Structure 1
Amino acid sequence: MPEYLSPGVYVEEVDAGPRPIAGVSTSTAGMVGVTQRGPTDGKPKLVTNFLEFQTTFGGFLPEPDPAIRDAWANNPAEGGRWWLFPLAVKGFFDNGGQRLYVKRVASGAAQPASGQVFTGLVSAITQDAAAGVTTLQLAHVIGFTGTDAVTVFRGGDDVEIGTVTITAYNATTGRVTLGTGLPAAVKASRGDYVQLGDRGTEPSLRFSASSPGSWGKAVQVRISPSVSASLPVLPDPGEGPLFTTALAANAEQDAGAITVNAVPGLDPGPLPDDVWVLINDRRFPVTVAEPVDGKVTLTFPDGTTHAPWKAGLTVRRVRLANAGAGATLRISGSGRLYEGAATQLDTGDKLTTLTIRSVGPDDVVTFDANTPEQVFESARLRLVESTVDTRFTDPGGGSVTETFRNLRLTGDGPGTVTGTLASQSRLVRGETIGEPSSDPADFPTPASGSWLSLADDGDDAFDGLDVGDFVGTDGGSGKRTGIVALEDIDEIAICAVPGVWAGTVESALVTHCEQLKDRFAVLDPQDGLDIEGIQAFREPFDTKYAALYYPWLVVNDPSTGQFVEAPPSGHIIGIYARTDVERGVHKAPANAVIRGIRLTDGIAQDVTKRHQDVLNPRGINALRFFPGLGQRVWGARTLSSDTSWKYVNVRRLFLFLEESIDEGTQWVVFEPNDESLWALVRQTVANFLTTVWRSGALAGTTADEAFFVQCDRSTMTDDDIANGRLICVIGVAPVFPAEFVIFRIQQKTREPQLV
């Protein structure tokens, strides 16, 4: 209860009336099957259209080798045509399905494709260049010194084009100047690249496909050094002020002194003896004289050469960052740096690779080696990390590319190569071998080329696939496999294992639904069965949580362009979802056109009325063709022998009501179990059922005829209350489908009338 301890006004919120119950979704489906790729661990993945399914799980599967195909397809008891699973998924979306959770099944012997990278340094050529040119555009110059001899290679076949020497560079743009012309033309689109030095032979990283299967052999990975931060070098505190001035008069070529305008800070008093100025992007040491009449003379050392300069040219001081060769510098933004990080110091004429030993106060950074003797404030320290690019081209069409930037080579947490790929990549996983070098010149590099193809080990091992892989195992939340993994998704209301008629698998699926009591299964029969065969197939089942449809459907396989027979469960579940959205779960999912099949002869076998006279009483739902009406679902029965639950829509309506009331009354738990709570529960449930009745899901002309809700002393004893039990009894009158529409017509004789 609230406390009132001092005088004042108290504003309080109080609950008024019952809490509404929101109806749960009944159109969310779950399927288990073999896919080309996709995660085999973790919870089932949600896909909302077939393109998203292809992106995550791949395209259509080819028919396996004849020996494997026949072992499954010719087994009437424990067989299936599991390679048709993607066609069933397509059928689901073609028929109006919107949300599908997919759990991939893979053989326990399946292996992911993999490959190793070694050490070396390559840089891709990013712009075409003709033979004889003396400039080259590279992806980066990380790990270079600025004056390097590099070998140019042709992409694709890794043929050596020739060796050239870099004489100048621009680290920001990656453009380099060569001492001699290119020996042959280079092309960026071909994947041409340059290599510095030789490649190592000891592996440093192993990349593997994100999931098992031969699909991974089409995956390629490239890891390259990249700049994560470019930080300015701070001047030494004793260097004095900065100044920017301009030439006061023209200067002849190689003049020993120049005259500039006097500006604040340009005075020998506050300046050290070794002052450097920047003129036309070139540094010069100068001696500063005393200002005279607003002019200052700057004298160059003997032997200094330079071009002629005109008055007005900018002259700017550049200060030294170090007082001589040493292992420390002051770096602006040093908070971006960390111990062990690889960096590259760019002084404008030289690139120096340094590893950070420590980052101290006042932006002082200590390196593992001495810096060059003269480092100016115009220098930049670049933090070197890595970029990982992945690409995959699906043989059935489409491609996936990924780029992950600013990754550390060492460690396995967030921001590292291995950690980021494990949490974000759909294609690749990484594993360090030993301790990767922080020296960019020994960067992880394939044995040849710049892209690594994962050509090792990838195997689907379909010869090791068995029914146990479809049933799955329970390793706990997020670690379940097969049918058992569907338990991780509470929203699933319809489920199937398309194309698999194995008794072990379908029994597991039925058991899954019966145990959870919040979902309904659609089973597939064996393909090619005749009327007697489908009756024999149906005999072992007696459940109100599943339905069986016959026969199979004829669909177009986009991967081959041929028409093939496909299991009906995917299409049927899509019709369930479509009917739920358009009409409601109380509407029988029958007398609905089947979409996504061949327009003529889209049903594998003709089922006549006389055939269905035999099938329907046994709970086998027929798929039939009607001239002028198309190809339709012509049955809505469960596999139950209990006549109370013989209709699919009645069973699914009660699943909807039970799950909605269960989730919508969780707030009741641990409330005081008294009359006021009972009344609130009665009103809460009655309001929900009234809404359901008004939607047409319940029979009766009034709400009292449609349902009743009892929650009082008549439903609970003192013992129930003492043991914490609140018992609410609910009765509903479902709407049954008009399965047999009967019009009785009789002849009427006209009677004579007397005038």
Structure 2
Amino acid sequence: MATVSYPGVYVQEVSGGVRPLDTASTSTAAFVGLAEMGPDTEATLVTSWTDFQRRYGSFTDDGYLAQSVFQYFNNGGRQCYIVRVTRGDAVAADVSLNNRVGVNGFTFSAKNKGLWGNTLLLQVEDGTLDPGNTFKLSIRRQDDPAVVPASPQDLPPLEVFDNLSVDPTSPDYAVSVLGSRSTLVNAQLLAANTSIQRGLHRGAAGPTLPLNSNLNFQINVDGDGYQQVALPPATGTATALADVAAAIQTAVKALVKKKTSTDATAFTGFTCTVDPAGPNLLLQSGTAANPASSVLVQAATTNDASFQLKLGLAGGGRSENGIAVRRPVNAPVIQVGDSAVAAPVSAAHAGADGVATFTEQLFADGFAKLDHLTDVSLLAVPGEATPAMADKGMGYCANRPLQDMFYIGETGQLDDEVSDATTFRNKLTTANSYGAVYFPWVKATDPTGRSRDPILLPPSGYVAGLYARTDSARGVWKAPAGTEASLNGVVGLTAELSDVDHGNLNPKGINVVRRFAGSGIVSFGARTISSDPLWRYVPVRRTAIMLRVSIYNGIQWAVFEPNDESLWAQLRLSIGSFMTTLFRQGAFQGATPSQAFFVKCDAETTTQADIDNGVVNVQVGFAPLKPAEFVVVKISQQAGLAS
């Protein structure tokens, strides 16, 4: 409270007593499976099919992850997490390039494991802003892994990084920039890359002689500061570039350093020579093996010679510091992983998907990457349709600390008879309420266009999208099933079921996908795999998950508050307000709030012993909505009624 010291009005804010609870997300899915590319060490959130393609590639022949994610978004999904599973012997592609003095110095490797890395094409050029010291890397990807295009530069670059440095202290250090910003490659500066030259300034080719009266320019050696170089008058008539080079060397050697910290040999050991490949001038600092060594040239204010000598930026020259030779040599096209080992390539190792056998445990090991996530509520391992996989998936969901996930499973691809689905159900050993199983597989148009006939796909991706669509339109308490629960993108089924077939599977907790005239192909089951009648239905279990997570997240503020009636009242008010809002949305059974739910937190739920132990107990009960699974209509005749 504000200190009251003068007559007047004092205004302050106070809590209204009600702390609102947010409804937890119920439709963010997690998919575990094989992908063409992408990280395999963590779960990554993707928000669209385009986003998935950018991170994980496109459709593959050895898994159903991409197809299922595509159909998830096609059926109403908004975002999902991807856990990529790779074989233990999978490797990432890499290629090593020589630096500018021919030493094996730089390795570029695909960002993650797999054969896909062999399709990356690199182009190395001089940097735009500082071509002497930095380089530009353009990354492309060939369409056909077996054919390098005749003109790779015609392919649009997927990523371009300009002005990359080989100086570890630079904010543009190539290793750091690619490591944090590229989704395609990493870079490594090799230990063998230790070549350090004297800093130099490389003039452009074709100096114009004689200089006549233009005999001045300014030079900065090893950061000592700019000083004017005045060539002797006789140099103005020289027509041999070597004579001018000798005059420059003599003049710079005669300069006196301006800073105490500057090594005197920067000037006393200075050289200026003619590059026979030019011809052009090479001005080199006298300090050897000094990464900070440098030579900078700029125009003089009067009688400037730098333009005629092709020195400085205006003359087309460029400066290179002591470690500029460490940067990779320019190359028009280098194929990562599959490049021939010939200069400038010093080594290459092809990427591979591996040949090890996949097991259910390998996919289940991927569940651990979801442990730290709190906003995911659905789990699927599309295509890995075995009883053992379903057991592991439902077991993981039930054993998470908050029990906040629901597993969507499916029967096997070859299970096309009622007896097959029954056998699948009987093999399950983890028949809890944290999962549902769908039958049969569906047929869809091949998204790759390679097959004219429909291909078989697992239903879990479709159903996960349906869950999200239903949650958004009606709420998690609405069963994701019925004639309105159409599966977009389905053109057929591996098994067309009759009412009798459905009647045999429904009591076993197998949810079926059926075709109905006028409605198309729909999900027509909403049962968990549990035999417990309290948790028989998918919407009941998922509503309970939503309530548990929402209340857990919404009352964190109560920790360490004084444990007395004031706190209990606030908890009753906050949770009661949240439950009332859900009741008004139609989430619970009952005509009044008192019939639909209760929230109890008082001296009966929290005894003095609880208070002494720092415990406050809140009891929340709700009357769940259960789907009208069986609609019975009784028809009778009435005769002889008088009009």
TM-score for both structures, normalised by structure 2:
0.72
Q: Deviations over 1:357-409 (max 9, x none)?
A: xxxxxxxxxxxxxxxxxxxxxxxxxxx2222221224559x976111223221
Q: 1:555 aligns with which of 444, 449, 464?
A: 444
Q: 2:185 aligns with which of 400, 403, 428?
A: 428
Distance in 1 of aligned mates of 2:194 and 2:334: 18
What does 1:100-111 correspond to in 2, within 5 Å? Answer: 100-111=80-91
Q: Is the 8 A contact 1:50 1:89 kept in 2?
A: yes
Q: 2:175 aligns with which of 404, 415, 418?
A: 418
Alpha-carbon spacing, 1:61–1:670, altered in 2? closer, same or farther (3 Å): same
Q: For structure 2, which runs of at least 5 residues remain unmatched after alignment?
A: 146-154, 198-319, 339-348
Corresponding residue of 1:575: 466
AA aligned to 2:166 is: L
What does 1:672-751 correspond to in 2, within 5 Å? Answer: 672-751=562-641
Q: Is the 8 A contact 2:418 2:501 kept in 1?
A: yes
Corresponding residue of 1:361: none
In the TM superposition, what is the alpha-carbon distance from 1:689 to its structure 2 partner? 0.6
Corresponding residue of 2:414: 528
Alpha-carbon spacing, 1:671–1:558, altered in 2? closer, same or farther (3 Å): same
Corresponding residue of 2:379: 495
Is the counterpart of residue 388 in structure 1 residue 145 in structure 2?
Answer: no
Corresponding residue of 1:458: 351
- Sequence identity percentage: 34
Q: Deviations over 1:561-581 (max 9, x none)?
A: 442111110000000000000
Q: 2:392 aligns with which of 505, 508, 523?
A: 508
What does 1:164-563 correspond to in 2, within 5 Å? Answer: 200=102, 202-228=103-129, 384-395=133-144, 401-411=158-168, 414-434=171-191, 435=193, 437=195, 442=325, 444-445=327-328, 449-455=332-338, 456-472=349-365, 482-516=366-400, 517-529=403-415, 530-539=417-426, 540=428, 541-559=430-448, 560-562=450-452, 563=454
Q: Deviations over 1:231-280 (max 9, x none)?
A: xxxxxxxxxxxxxxxxxxxxxxxxxxxxxxxxxxxxxxxxxxxxxxxxxx
Alpha-carbon spacing, 1:707–1:221, altered in 2? closer, same or farther (3 Å): same
What does 1:135-154 correspond to in 2, within 5 Å? Answer: none
User: Is the deviation greater in 603-612 or in 387-396?
Assistant: 387-396
Q: Deviations over 1:36-62 (max 9, x none)?
A: 0011123x1111221211111000002
Q: Is the 8 A contact 2:387 2:424 kept in 1?
A: no
Q: Secondary structure at the match of 2:376?
A: coil
In the TM superposition, what is the alpha-carbon distance from 1:693 to its structure 2 partner? 0.5
Corresponding residue of 2:560: 670
Q: Which has the higher strand share?
A: 1
AA aligned to 1:538 is: R
AA aligned to 1:55 is: R
Corresponding residue of 2:551: 661
AA aligned to 1:60 is: F
Distance in 2 of aligned mates of 1:427 and 1:616: 47
Distance in 1 of aligned mates of 2:88 and 2:378: 27
AA aligned to 1:224 is: E
Alpha-carbon spacing, 1:618–1:610, altered in 2? closer, same or farther (3 Å): same
TM-score for both structures, normalised by structure 1:
0.62
Q: Secondary structure at the match of 2:158?
A: strand
AA aligned to 2:380 is: A
AA aligned to 1:471 is: A
In the TM superposition, what is the alpha-carbon distance from 1:27 to its structure 2 partner? 1.2
Distance in 2 of aligned mates of 1:708 and 1:89: 39
Q: Secondary structure at the match of 1:423?
A: helix
Distance in 2 of aligned mates of 1:394 and 1:227: 28
In the TM superposition, what is the alpha-carbon distance from 1:3 to its structure 2 partner? 7.1
Is the counterpart of residue 33 in structure 1 residue 33 in structure 2?
Answer: yes
Distance in 1 of aligned mates of 2:3 and 2:196: 66
Corresponding residue of 2:48: 49
Q: Secondary structure at the match of 2:64?
A: helix
Corresponding residue of 1:91: 71
Is the counterpart of residue 566 in structure 1 residue 461 in structure 2?
Answer: no
In the TM superposition, what is the alpha-carbon distance from 1:618 to its structure 2 partner? 0.6
Q: For structure 1, which runs of at least 5 residues remain unmatched after alignment?
A: 64-82, 121-198, 230-342, 345-383, 473-481
In the TM superposition, what is the alpha-carbon distance from 1:752 to its structure 2 partner? 5.4
In the TM superposition, what is the alpha-carbon distance from 1:623 to its structure 2 partner? 0.5
Distance in 2 of aligned mates of 1:619 and 1:701: 30
Alpha-carbon spacing, 1:438–1:577, altered in 2? closer, same or farther (3 Å): farther
Distance in 2 of aligned mates of 1:634 and 1:49: 27
Is the counterpart of residue 612 in structure 1 residue 502 in structure 2?
Answer: yes
Distance in 2 of aligned mates of 1:497 and 1:412: 44
Q: Secondary structure at the match of 1:204?
A: strand
In the TM superposition, what is the alpha-carbon distance from 1:669 to its structure 2 partner? 0.7
Distance in 2 of aligned mates of 1:414 and 1:467: 44
AA aligned to 1:62 is: D
Q: Deviations over 1:599-658 (max 9, x none)?
A: 3xx111111110011100010001111122211111000011100100000110111111
Q: Is the 8 A contact 1:590 1:636 kept in 2?
A: yes
Distance in 1 of aligned mates of 2:330 and 2:577: 70
In the TM superposition, what is the alpha-carbon distance from 1:598 to its structure 2 partner? 4.2
In the TM superposition, what is the alpha-carbon distance from 1:6 to its structure 2 partner? 5.8
Q: Secondary structure at the match of 2:89?
A: coil
Q: Which has the higher helix share?
A: 2
Q: Secondary structure at the match of 1:463?
A: coil
Alpha-carbon spacing, 1:400–1:742, altered in 2? closer, same or farther (3 Å): farther
Corresponding residue of 1:21: 21
Distance in 1 of aligned mates of 2:508 and 2:396: 23
Q: 2:481 aligns with which of 581, 586, 590?
A: 590
In the TM superposition, what is the alpha-carbon distance from 1:438 to its structure 2 partner? 6.1
Q: Secondary structure at the match of 2:493?
A: coil
User: Is the deviation greater in 402-411 or in 52-61?
Assistant: 402-411
Distance in 2 of aligned mates of 1:598 and 1:662: 38
Question: How many residue pairs were aligned?
Answer: 489
Q: Secondary structure at the match of 2:81?
A: strand
Distance in 2 of aligned mates of 1:207 and 1:8: 74
Q: Deviations over 1:393-437 (max 9, x none)?
A: 4559x9761112232213288531111111111100111112355
In the TM superposition, what is the alpha-carbon distance from 1:467 to its structure 2 partner? 3.0
In the TM superposition, what is the alpha-carbon distance from 1:594 to its structure 2 partner? 3.5
Distance in 2 of aligned mates of 1:645 and 1:413: 60
Q: Kindly report the root-mean-square deviation, in angstroms, between the aligned alpha carbons of the 2 structures.
A: 2.3
What does 1:150-161 correspond to in 2, within 5 Å? Answer: none
AA aligned to 1:454 is: G
Corresponding residue of 1:137: none
In the TM superposition, what is the alpha-carbon distance from 1:466 to its structure 2 partner? 3.3
Q: Secondary structure at the match of 2:507?
A: helix
AA aligned to 1:215 is: W
Distance in 1 of aligned mates of 2:583 and 2:490: 39
Q: Deviations over 1:118-165 (max 9, x none)?
A: 134xxxxxxxxxxxxxxxxxxxxxxxxxxxxxxxxxxxxxxxxxxxxx
